Structure 1
Amino acid sequence: MEQADSLMDQARAAFDQGLILAQEWLLSPAAWSQFALLVGAYLVARLANRIIAPRLTRLLTPEPDNSSIIAKARRFVLIFMPLLLPLLAYGFTAIGEVVTRSLFGSGAVIAFGKRVFLFLAARALAKHIIRDPFLKLLARYVLVPVAALYALGFLDQVIAALEGTVVSLGNISFSALAIIRGLIAGSLLFWLGQWSNTQSVAYIERQPMRPAIRQLIVKVAEFAIFGIAFLLLMNIMGISLSSLAIIGGAVGVGLGFGLQKIASNFISGVILLVEGQATVGDYIELDGGEAGTIIKMTARATILETFDGRWIVVPNEDFITTRVVNYSDSGSANRLEVAFSVSYDTDINTVPAIIEAAVATHPEVLDDPEGPDCELRGFGESGIDFGVEFWVNGIDDGKNKYASDVLFLIWNALKNNDIEIPYPHRVVELKGTLPA
């Protein structure tokens, strides 16, 4: 309550001081001459802007299809063209201030005009130049109000009042200014960290390297960027880094007692990324029978997606301590087999060549490392059993119907060569005489 009364008293004192200053300006010839110089500087700035802006725009505008670094830099500079008028006015006003102070020994009015032009520049920056939604919000509700307070000459008083306002959180006390500064700096730092992380991920994704190593580098870059942002924020807030060592010790004790699994999964995830045993896009089968495609690898777990769209969250430790079958291995070829039978009346010596030629016509069947191979498997109860092996890139899942396609090819090939696919044969023996 006392702090609120103090702020009100300071506001009244500032208002009274501003009223007295306005009366002095209205009654002073020097103030009127400064005001005339201020208006003249603004008019000269508008004239200069009308001459310079079109020529500068033509000079900086690159060809539409030019995507070089210089062209991008020129387009970036063009974004700031709305700042030309207020900055020209500020520059001419600064020249007028030097002249006024040399002639009259004072320049309060023209100095006020300079601050107003800076406010207009901040407003143009927030309204016409900044496009990012977060930065635009920050400029509109932080930069523009601060520039307005600076233009009116109240910024120092507001800073002093916020510095004197103390907020206590238990045994820790912060000034209101430190809290506001920490919020603004934290928002900017973590926005910059997010932007830097996006740019670094885009750059790393373009580099030729193993997918597992690429993902590991992405994670390391992300931790490094946000770690640096956090340390900078602690420094801006005035929090000693030695206190972080105490927190780190407490976290270490927590890892030793209650977070062993989390630490184990994190280290297992790093090992997986380094060794490349499994990566995003691989189709794997776990020791417990669960199978699916890896769609995401996090610090704690790996997420599999099954054929029917379900997600299975598998702790990274399971990939290290249990048996895992990787059918994809980042897109390597896999061998599949399809079984079929023919009648005992068939000349089986002709079957392998017919089937191999038919299966080889499938566009996804590979010749390397080996073409289709038809083999005799045995003599069954109803027919002669064969199997055909073939190599494909991928696995037989909902997206790839390799087995179904090959069975169609086998059926058509056998029919075209008048080879019979046998029906089941059963012999029924009746003992005794048939009933009348």
Structure 2
Amino acid sequence: MNPHEEPTPFEALQQTGLTLWGQVDTFLAIVLRPWMFYQLGIALGLFALAHLLRAWLGPKLHNWMRAREGWPKWQMRILIVLHRRLRMIIFVILIWHVIGIMHQVTWPSRTYLLEIIAQLSSAWLVIALITRLIGNPALRSLVRYGAWGYVTIWILGLTDEAQALLESAAVSFGDSKLSLWLILQAVVILIALVAVARFLTTAGAASIRRNEGISPSMQVLAVKFLQVALYGAAFFMALKLAGVDLTGLAVLSGAIGVGLGFGLQKVVSNLVSGVIILLDKSIKPGDVISIGETFGWINALGARYVSITTRDGKEYLIPNEDMITGQVVNWSHSNELVRVDIHFGTAYGDDPHLVRKVAIEAALGVKRVLSHKPPVCHITGFGDSSVDYILRFWIIDPSQGLTNIRGNVFLALWDAFKEHGISIPFPQREVRMLGGAQEDERDALEGPAEAPVTERPG
């Protein structure tokens, strides 16, 4: 190969592999010396001792923790994490003490392998304790194993060789080169920035929700905007810090935008409708609404849908576009006052003045009916068998249901009318059979009478 020519990816990978194998061969040559086996035996013995100490000390520490009932939760969580890693903690303490003693009684080179094991154990222990702060189990495992791998390579002094090996596994796209090392850098930086963005988003969302001067809909919009801004900034910063050229990404994003415009019209429409809903404050979490046959209160406003929970426990996910284009009845948009109408009828023999008075008093006796906006009762017409009335009253808690309050008022009317002797009529029909009609009906049933036979003389 010409020394001035750039090696192919396969040749670079082969050269890096040979260099890495040389490093491993040198390391094995040192490790396989007889006094290295003594150090390995000491490490195994210390680990066995740590296991026995953990078996003896673990239950005692557990019982002591159970007796600390008044301690804060964060202190108890720290104790639980330390209890789960008790064996490794004891092993790290023992091995560093043994190394310190051996430095005083023998040559420093006789602790070479023990120092590597102690450094690895200490680093793994610190990483395991720190990564417990990550709430997501999948992300926690990814960060933990990735950090363990990097620390192991760094302690063994193989960082340059490992980097060269990852850079050699690359694919070229014109002037751009995508290698495993570049991908690994981007992933690590992205995870770190996403963790920071998540922390800032959680803190910012809590601060926004505590601000009573911001309406609930604007709080949701502000939280969504904060999440999109921070996570988007984390993504692009990770790519930039990893050395990825964003020029091609801009062209690609334009092409993706055109595809989204044609293929995901409904999704984009729901996203835009969600932003409009949050901006115009037409609905907000906690509002009682009815759309079509669905009646309930808003549980949450999402980027694609509105979650509505009904009285029977069902949760409907209504697309944001339907909330914009359809007719929505918001029972608590500007205020919580809701007027409820019920219809009833009484007999013609009952005094309508008394009926109206009794109906209003009965409605006022129901718990949820407002007294500062008193009920009213009016005659709406004279029916075939009853005088028809309408009773109107106000409530201030539509989220507690409308059917139940109607039922309670009807029950109060029934009791009040029964107490005052007011009757609730029902339609009746009376059929009278007249005399001529009865004979015609009998003739129809019996058939025509036979005519008499008369003989004529011949």
Count of aligned residue pairs for this structure pair: 407
Distance of 2:306 and 2:363 partners within structure 1: 37
Amino acid of the residue matched to residue 406 of structure 1? V
- 2:79 and 2:160 map into 1 onto residues whose CA distance is 33
Correspondent of 1:381 among 371, 384, 389:
384
| Aligned 8 A contact 2:99 2:114 in 1 | no
Amino acid at match of 1:206: R
Cα deviation, residue 73, structure 1: 9.8
User: What aligned pairs does 1:290-369 form with structure 2 within 5 A after superposition?
Assistant: 290-293=293-296, 294-304=298-308, 309=314, 311=316, 313-316=318-321, 318-329=322-333, 332-368=336-372
Q: 1:165 to 1:250 in 2, by over 3 A?
A: closer
Q: In the alignment, which residue of structure 2 is the partner of 1:211? A: 216
Q: 1:109 to 1:231 in 2, by over 3 A?
A: farther
Q: Distance in 2 between matches of 1:431 and 1:74?
A: 95
Deviation per residue, 1:51-80 (Å, 9 max, x gap)? xxxxxxxxxxxx97687xxx9799979978
**How far apart are residue 115 of structure 1 and its match?**
5.5
Structure 2 counterpart of 1:273: 278
Aligned 1:131-170 pairs, distance under 5 A: 131=132, 132=135, 133-134=137-138, 136-167=140-171
With the length of structure 2 as denominator, give the TM-score of the two structures.
Answer: 0.69
3-state SS in 2 of match to 1:366: coil
Q: Would you say the 8 A contact 2:218–2:279 is kept in 1?
A: yes
Provide the aligned C-alpha RMSD in A: 4.9
Separation of aligned partners in 2, 1:227 and 1:77: 37
Aligned to 1:48: none
Tell me, yes or no, if the aligned pair for 1:342 and 1:385 is still in contact at 8 Å: yes
2:415 to 412, 416, 421: 412
Does structure 1 conserve the Cα–Cα contact (< 8 Å) formed by 2:17 and 2:165? no
Deviation at 1:301, TM superposition (A): 3.9
Query: Which consecutive residues of structure 2, in runs of 5 or more, have no partner in the other structure?
Result: 1-9, 47-67, 440-458
Contact 2:288 2:399 in 1 (8 A): no
* 8 Å Cα contact 1:396-1:403 kept in structure 2: no
Selected match of 1:16 from 20, 25, 34: 25
Residues 1:246 and 1:116: Cα distance change in structure 2 (over 3 Å): same
Correspondence for 1:234 among 221, 233, 239: 239
SS at 1:381 equivalent: coil
Q: CA deviation at 1:394?
A: 4.0
Q: Bigger radius of gyration, 1 or 2? A: 2
| 2:396 corresponds to | 393
| In 2, Cα distance between equivalents of 1:355 and 1:232 | 70
Moved more, 206-215 or 2-11: 2-11
- The SS at the match of 2:349 is coil
Counterparts of 1:68-217 in structure 2 under 5 Å? Answer: 116-128=117-129, 130-131=131-132, 132=135, 133-134=137-138, 136-167=140-171, 173-208=177-212, 209-217=214-222
1:160 is displaced (CA, Å) by 2.4
Of residues 250-259 and 275-284 in structure 1, the stretch that sits farther from structure 2 once superposed is 250-259
- Cα 1:434–1:256, aligned 2, differ >3 Å: closer, same or farther? closer
Q: Taking every aligned residue pair, what percent have the same amino acid on both sides?
A: 27
SS of 2:437's partner is coil
The whole-number CA distance in structure 1 between the counterparts of 2:145 and 2:282 is: 50
Task: State the shift of 1:387 in Å.
Answer: 1.7
